A and B are shown apart, each in its own frame.
Chain A
Amino acid sequence: MRHLPVLIPILPLLSALLCLIFSRIERRLGKYAVLAALAASFFSSVLLLVKVTQSGENIHYYMGGWMPPLGIEFVVDPINAVILAVISVVAFFVCMYSQAFLKESEWLEQGGFYALFALLSAGLLGMTITGDMFNLYVFLEIASISGYGLIALGRGKSVVASFRYLLLGTIAASFYLLSVAYLYAITGTLNMADMSRLLMHQLDTPNVLLAVSMLIVAFGLKMALFPLHGWQPDAYTYAHPAAAPIVAGLMSKAPALALLRYLFSIITVESIYVEIGLKAIGFLGACGIILGSVMANAQKDFRRMLAYSSVAQIGYIAVGLSLGSVYGLIAAVYHMVIHAFMKSLLFMVSGALQYRYGEVSISIDMLGGLNKHMPLTTASFVVAALSMIGIPPTGGFFSKWYLLLASLEKGQFLFIAVIVASSLLNAVYFFRVIENIFISKDAELTSLQKEERLEIPFSMLMPIVLFGIAILAVGLFNSYFVEEIIRLGLPEVLAV
């Protein structure tokens, strides 16, 4: 029980190491190791979530028994326990979903793919749980480097997309490291809690100004905040179809949570520079919402449309952070959770289309009559699309609702206008797809796979349907979710 926190990132890391060896012995063994590790991580994070919400006290784990500030510390509070559970459950089901794509490949390809997959999950889980600033950098790089690999495994222009992301991702990591250096220079510690205590009396020093601006650039690049999103559409579009759901669904969430932690728990809004930084994030987020939605309308490629809509969705998280009030942060965290499910479900649907019909099916014009061939997939897609637009009772409605409440409370009418306008734009581009599916003439597509009883293999269909149910469930139980979990974990100091 005591060692649960460390198991969460360690098990996927271990399975990544063993994956290739196991795959050499038996082709599928490596995959099972990764699946088992992710399931174990999920159970550990759920147990920790229950424990932390019941006791109301954060759980601390000290690596190797070295007490902070000397040793590395893992901290579990209600918010990051939720994100940990979401990351591990999404990773587990995407791993299950990816089996069908690789069933005929050689041991090396299969082992390599699952090793990268497990490393990516371990990196994201580690980034979320760690309480040490340099440890966060290491996990950030683990996640990024395995992410570059997974993106480059795709077809077509994926290698170029991956190389560009590598350059920008390294700039982000260097900026993060510099900001750590500036903070370390005035406090001499790397532990987050200790840093927060030592920074309390020097919040208005120039070092903090530099650190805050560099943190915003670093995490903004990683989460594809508006002017820094250049790498994102190509990377999401050309990523390996089996890995695209996890790349698109999760890789932006862990940096967003890290940014929240830095701005609200470590440096805190008492610093004037954080206040200015939050205003900047809010403005950029609002621009991103509009630009992402407009660009998504202009796309013909289904995946590219989803990628641009991600720019807009990250904008919602940024606006929630910038409002900085109770409702603002609730909206931001809630949106991280619901967006992880929505975006991975949407990319799983696009992957399922690619699996069944090949590359041609990925254009929006070719989706006519999809509901007749793939009814369950279409139903789940419609749930996710409605949630993206923000129609109750899906989860997407409630994150927008909290966001609107927060903007009203603070009198930010610009944000209200932006959110309403972007919901309309979302409706336009998702209904374009839905219209194509249900009303357009049947597209002439030939299935690449043998006819079976189910539309796509069970291992692909189950995650898709389950995520559709999860989106509804997170929406229906939102009051429990917000009051009993997220509210407990909010930082002590909020922007008033």
Chain B
Amino acid sequence: MNNTEIIAVLNEFLAEKGIYALVLILFFLGLFGMIMCKNYMKKLMAMNIMQVSVIFFFLCLAQKEGGMIPVLAGSVTDSGAYINPLPHALMLTAIVVSLGTTGVALALLIRIKNQYGTVEEDELLRRMEE
């Protein structure tokens, strides 16, 4: 395979599946952050990244080339002409859920900070032992 062929294969991959690969990288980046970060605030931010990546994933499913807004306009009844509105509707709910989770998590973090004076995991574990 010479260079042009490789570039062609790569182009095809990126055009068809590139967005999914990026979304999954984002997902596992979030997961990695939640495991590796020692700071609870950073863990929470990584958690949000993960949730956003799932939302992107759903939105990618709805996407189609040349699709228009799913509003009944005139006589267009061909389903191929519209973007699928269902994933967007679902993700509105998921965004609300993620907002709720983040709110509860922040409230808990404030209480942890008040109780132990830190949100660093190592320090926190040491103070909890005492």
B61 at the interface (CB under 8 A from A): yes
The verdict on B88 contacting chain A, using a C-beta distance below 8 Å, is no
Per the bound structure, the CA–CA distance linking A184 and B54 in Å amounts to 13
Q: Which of A94-142 contact B (CB under 8 A)?
A: 134, 137-138, 141
Interface assignment of A495: CB less than 8 Å from any CB of chain B: no
Interface pick from B4-12, B68-76, B90-98: B90-98
Contact B104 A148 (CB under 8 A): yes
| A181 adjacent to chain B (CB < 8 Å) | yes
A158-188 interface with B by 8 A CB criterion: 159-160, 162-163, 166-167, 170-171, 173-174, 177-178, 181, 184-185
Would A138 and B40 count as touching, CB distance under 8 A? no
Residues of A within 8 Å of B87, CB to CB, are 184
Interface centre among A157, A163, A177, A178 (most CB of B within 10 A): A163
* Shortest distance from the beta carbon of A359 to any chain B beta carbon, whole Å: 16
The count of residues in chain A whose C-beta lies closer than 8 Å to any C-beta of chain B is 25
Question: Which residues of A have CB within 8 Å of B54?
Answer: 174, 177-178, 181
Question: Contact at B50–A152, with CB atoms within 8 Å?
Answer: no
- Of the four ranges (under 10, 10 to 19, 20 to 34, 35 or more), the interface on chain B belongs to 20 to 34
Q: Quick one: which of B50, B57, B90, B101 contacts A141, CB cutoff 8 A?
A: B101
Task: Please state if B47 and A167 are interface contacts (CB–CB under 8 Å).
Answer: yes
> What is the distance, in angstroms, from B57's C-beta to the closest C-beta of chain A?
5
- In the complex, chain B residues 51-105 whose Cβ is within 8 Å of any chain A Cβ: 51, 54, 57-58, 61, 86-87, 90, 93-94, 97, 100-101, 104-105
CB distance from B4 to the nearest CB of A (A): 30
Residues of A within 8 Å of B29, CB to CB, are: none
Residues of chain A lying within 8 A (CB to CB) of residue B94: 137, 177
* B33 CB to nearest chain A CB (Å): 11
Q: Does A30 contact B (CB under 8 A)?
A: no
Residues of chain A contacted by B111 (CB below 8 angstroms): 152, 159
Q: Which of B13-43 contact A (CB under 8 A)?
A: 27, 31, 34, 40, 43
A149 in contact (CB, < 8 A): yes
Q: CB distance B27 to A166 under 8 Å?
A: no
Q: Is the CB of B97 within 8 A of A141?
A: yes
B51 and A170 contacting across the interface, CB-CB below 8 Å:
yes
A138 and B34 form a contact (CB under 8 A): no
Bound together, the chains give a CA A171 to CA B47 distance in angstroms of 8
Question: At the interface, yes or no: A145 with Cβ under 8 Å from chain B?
Answer: yes
Whether B61 and A184, one on each chain, are in contact in the complex, defined by CB atoms closer than 8 angstroms, is yes
In the complex formed, the residue of A with least CB distance to B47 is A170
Q: How far is the CB of A146 from chain B (nearest CB, A)?
A: 9
Q: Given A166-B108, A185-B61 in contact, is the A174-B100 Cβ separation under 8 Å? A: no
Which residues of chain B come closer than 8 Å to A134, judged between CB atoms?
90, 93
Closest-CB distance, B120 to chain A (whole angstroms): 12
Q: How many angstroms between the C-alpha atoms of A167 and B104 in the bound complex?
A: 11
Q: A159-B112, A159-B115, A167-B47 are in contact. Are A149 and B104 (CB under 8 A)?
A: yes
Instruction: Flag if A163 contacts B105 (CB, 8 Å).
Output: yes
Answer whether residue B1 sits at the interface, using C-beta atoms and an 8 A cutoff: no
Q: How many angstroms from the CA of A131 to the CA of B128 in the assembled complex?
A: 44
Interface on B for A, CB 8 Å cutoff? Answer: 27, 31, 34, 40, 43-44, 47, 50-51, 54, 57-58, 61, 86-87, 90, 93-94, 97, 100-101, 104-105, 108-109, 111-112, 115-116, 124, 128
Binding site for B on A (CB under 8 A): 134, 137-138, 141, 145, 148-149, 152, 157, 159-160, 162-163, 166-167, 170-171, 173-174, 177-178, 181, 184-185, 190
17 A-B pairs besides A148-B108, A163-B108 with CB distance below 8 A are A141-B101, A148-B104, A157-B128, A159-B115, A160-B112, A160-B128, A166-B104, A167-B34, A167-B105, A170-B50, A170-B51, A170-B101, A174-B27, A174-B50, A174-B51, A178-B27, A190-B86
